[in-house]
Amino acid sequence: MNHPSPRPADNEFLVQVRIPVQAVIAGLAVAGGVIGLVGGTPQYIASSLPLSLLIFVLAGVIWLIAAWREVAGVWALLAGLTATVFLLRFWLPWEGALVLLAIPATLGLILLGDRAGLIVAGFCTLGIGWLWATERLPIPELLLALAGVWLMALVFWGSLRSIAQLADWAWRHYLGAQGTLDEVRANRAQLHQTLDDLAHANRQLDLMNRRLAAAQMAAEEAHKTKAAFVANVSHEFRTPLNMIIGLSDLLIEAPHVYGAPLPTPLLEDLEIVRRNTQHLLAMVNDVLDLSQIEANRLALHRDRVDLSAVVERAAAVVYPLLEKKAVALHLELPPDLPPAYCDSNRVRQVLVNLLSNAARHTEQGSVRVQVRHDDHSLTVCVRDTGPGIAPEDAAHIFEPFYRGTFGARRNENGSGLGLSISKQFIEMHSGRMWLESTLGEGSAFYFSLPITALPLPAGGADRWLLDEWQWHVRDQAANLPQKIVKPRVIICDANTDLCDAFSRFDDQAEYVRVASLAEAVGVVAEFPAHSLILNDASPRLLLEMLAEARQKWPDLPVMGCSLPPRLGHALAAGASGQLLKPITRTELAAVIGQVQPKPRTVLVVDDDGDTRRLFARMLVAIDETLRVVSAADGQEALAQMRAEQPDLVLLDVKLPEMDGWQVLAAKALDDALRPIPVFLLSAQDPGDEPLSSQILVAAAGERTPFYKLLRAAQVIPLLLGQPDT
């Protein structure tokens, strides 16, 4: 924590604002010169010239004293000024010169403070009083001298006190402002850290959301696969079940086909087989319906249907069971019932299921079917006078395979799928189903259906906005930092070309370059990444890097490419780098600092003499100890290299007879010259050449599903088949 500096004392402040002592001494010397000039007439020269010389000598002595010790010099200066004023009054003589005693008194206040100024003024007052006492000074001159000394002293004393108070106030406010600034800086640093933490958390949440979305897609795919498997198995069950049911019916209803009547016990056993087989078939049909709904394979054949006729057909199916149990069936169908937009077979299946459940659980009383309608929907209620459903069962009654405590006590043979399938049928019609039940009084199952096809939305997205949602305009803009969280892409590349290209042409993602996979491990651990891009000039090494990355991050999408560096031609030819003209001194200094050990001799190869001279001066300006030699063509450059063995070569590409590439080729053949570092100088930017990759590979997850392969097979050929631009 920074502690404010202590407030300086008033005298310290006065020392800081005082005029220099040397300036006052110089003024004293100037005053001596003025006295010599003014008194230079023949009648005054005898008295003024010695006084002028005396003042000059006095100024020199005071200057030496001030150089030895400044405070002693100040006191000597004040004494000298006081003596000079008295000499002016009685040596020349100048009447009224004693008024000038205000000068040393005022200088005492300015140079040494209040106490010294009062002392000097007091001595001046004593001197003036002594002169008056010896009757050498008239009273008017006495009063004028005293007034001049003390009025000037008081004026300057008041001014200095005001300045000191103002300085004290300014210093205290400065310290307060400095403390406030320190707090603001600390809060700003904490705010930046908080923003970075929020951005990191936001990036992690975004990555987690993507992973959750991928996991949800995988779960949905598994769910659909399970439903498809159940549907296929259910279809396979139907063939043997139909065979068993058909043969059972044939043996029971037409035993003569087999040439002899069957024994009664066998017929009874066959009836049991047929009944249980039909129950098994009903369960298989329910499972098949449920699996088709979950797999989105069940299609509805909707049409405008007379719901009264559908209710009557469903009631006819259940009526024999109700009649056998002496339970009354009441249908309340309004005569003006509008048509319903539904699949009549599926709605009839729902009604049969609800009526069958009501008939199975109702021992006495009645079952009532009520239909009512409004402007948009039809509502059907199947009400019974059975035992009712407990609240704990009602909460789960529409779940698959749930039979409830009542059904479990009665040992009923239901599959527990009827109500679940019925509810999903109704919801597929954009309707809903619900239950109202009271123990001991009965149950009522409701479902609603649309009267006509649901119209398309007439408006746009504003139909979701409520009237109470009001927009409040802010009086001033929010002072928030503009931090945009972007997807993070890690680029593993030995050079910066690929990362620079991505960053220049795409601002929708944040690209971070690492030099190796080992460095990428730390970056990914610190900041989550959405994808990883690998680049290596060698396809073999690229595939090895890809395999290693898949082991480190199995769930991270990885893409690989093989882009040679922009300086690949120069590096392959044996150069250490390439500089683009015009070349600055900073770039040359960077090259000098890059070469190790530090170069002592530099060879400049260029066919232009002015260019060689320019580079020589720039190199010497960088390091005066550098020895610069030059060559005008390739042959001379090779000869200089063999003779001088320079520590660095700056080689122009375009040379007469033998260009820079040929020089590099010849240098590579000489074992003695090969280690010498060479930087090419060229007017053509290697960055102007478009980046291109020899191969492109991608991997995402341990296994890639077929639909992604299909999508890639559709998109990638179209992209790669486009002409290069």
> pLDDT, tens digit, for every residue of 574-613?
788 887 766 777 888 888 888 888 899 999 998 888 778 8
CA torsion 568-571-576-581 (nearest 10°) is -50
Tokens (6 digits) for 629: 């030699």
Any domain includes 455: no
Domain C-terminal end among 161, 183, 210: 161
Q: 46 or 203: whose pLDDT is higher?
A: 203
Spatial CA neighbour of 626 closest among 662, 667, 585: 585
How many domains does the chain divide into?
Answer: 4
Q: Are residues 575 and 554 both part of a single domain?
A: no
Tokens (6 digits) for 654: 């375009």
Q: Among positive and negative, which fits the CA dihedral 56, 61, 65, 68?
A: positive
Contact 335, 271 (CB under 8 A): no
- 209-217's contacts with Cβ under 8 Å and 24+ in sequence apart are 210/530, 211/555, 214/701
Q: Are residues 573 and 654 both part of a single domain?
A: yes
Q: Are residues 344 and 359 both part of a single domain?
A: yes
Contact 80, 59 (CB under 8 A): yes
Residue 268 φ then ψ, to 5°:
-65, -40
Q: Are residues 544 and 622 both part of a single domain?
A: no
d(C-alpha 535, C-alpha 560), whole Å: 6
Any domain includes 94: yes
Q: Among positive and negative, which fits the CA dihedral 34, 36, 40, 42?
A: positive
Tokens (6 digits) for 73: 């010099």
Domain C-terminal end among 137, 161, 185: 161
For 499-544, the pLDDT digits (tens) are 877 876 676 788 888 888 888 888 888 777 888 898 887 788 888 8
Q: Are residues 532 and 573 both part of a single domain?
A: no
Q: Are residues 516 and 629 both part of a single domain?
A: no
Q: Is the pLDDT of residue 2 over 90?
A: no
CA-to-CA dists, residue 62 to 69, 296, 390, angstroms? 10, 110, 116
Any domain includes 703: no
Domain C-terminal end among 543, 561, 579: 561
Q: Are residues 55 and 151 both part of a single domain?
A: yes
* Alpha helices (runs of H) in 134-263, residue ranges in sequence order: 139-253
Q: Is the pLDDT of residue 367 over 80?
A: yes
Average pLDDT over residues 112-141: 73
Any domain includes 111: yes
Residue 600 φ then ψ, to 5°:
-110, -30
Which residue type is seen at 551? Q
Q: Are residues 444 and 307 both part of a single domain?
A: yes
Tokens (6 digits) for 294: 């979950």
Q: Are strands 366-373 and 328-332 parallel, antiparallel or unpaired?
A: parallel
Q: Are residues 679 and 641 both part of a single domain?
A: yes
Query: Which range among 382-386, 497-501, 536-540, 691-695 has the greatest average pLDDT?
Result: 382-386
Domain encompassing residue 633:
568-688
User: Taking phi first (over 0 means left), then psi (-120 to 50 degrees means alpha), and beta for anything else, what does residue 489 get?
Assistant: beta
Q: Is the pLDDT of residue 484 over 60?
A: no
Cα angle value 292/297/301 (rounded, 5°): 105
Any domain includes 200: no
Counting beta carbons within 10 angstroms of the beta carbon of residue 176, is it exposed (0 to 12), middle (13 to 18) or buried (19 or more)? exposed
Q: Is the pLDDT of residue 380 over 90?
A: yes
Any domain includes 582: yes
Counting beta carbons within 10 angstroms of the beta carbon of residue 666, is it exposed (0 to 12), middle (13 to 18) or buried (19 or more)? middle
Q: At what angle do helices 10-17 and 139-253 cross, to 10 degrees?
A: 100
For 95-121, the pLDDT digits (tens) are 666 777 777 777 777 777 667 777 777
* Alpha helices (runs of H) in 656-721, residue ranges in sequence order: 660-669, 706-720
Residue 224 φ then ψ, to 5°:
-65, -35
By residue count, the chain amounts to 725
d(C-alpha 354, C-alpha 363), whole Å: 16
Tokens (6 digits) for 696: 């492109």
CATH number at residue 367: 3.30.565.10
Tokens (6 digits) for 130: 């002594």
Any domain includes 51: yes
Q: Are residues 500 and 544 both part of a single domain?
A: yes
Tokens (6 digits) for 414: 């239901």
Contact 88, 35 (CB under 8 A): yes
Q: Are residues 597 and 541 both part of a single domain?
A: no
CATH number at residue 504: 3.40.50.2300
Any domain includes 291: no
Between 130-144, 299-313, 328-342, 344-358, the lowest mean confidence (pLDDT) is in 130-144
Contact 359, 318 (CB under 8 A): yes
Average pLDDT over residues 435-453: 85
Spatial CA neighbour of 487 closest among 690, 197, 156, 202: 202
For 59-71, the pLDDT digits (tens) are 777 778 877 887 7
Q: Are residues 307 and 323 both part of a single domain?
A: yes
